[in-house]
Amino acid sequence: MSDIATRYNVAEALKDQGKFDEAIAILTEILTAEPAHILSHLTLGRIYTLQGNFEMAIEHGQQACNLEPNEAFNYTAMSVTYQRAFAGTQDRRYIQLAEDAMAKAHQLQG
- Dump pLDDT digits (tens) for 51-94: 999 999 999 999 999 999 999 999 999 999 999 999 999 999 99
Do residues 48 and 78 lie in contact, with contact meaning Cβ atoms separated by under 8 Å? Answer: no
Task: HSE, CB side, 13 Å, CA atoms: give it for residue 52.
Answer: 4
Distance separating alpha carbons of residues 26 and 55, to the nearest angstrom: 20
Question: Which residues span the domain enclosing 81?
Answer: 3-109
- How many separate domains does the chain show? 1
Using pLDDT thresholds of 50, 70 and 90, give the confidence band for residue 8: very high
CATH number of the domain that 20 lies in? 1.25.40.10
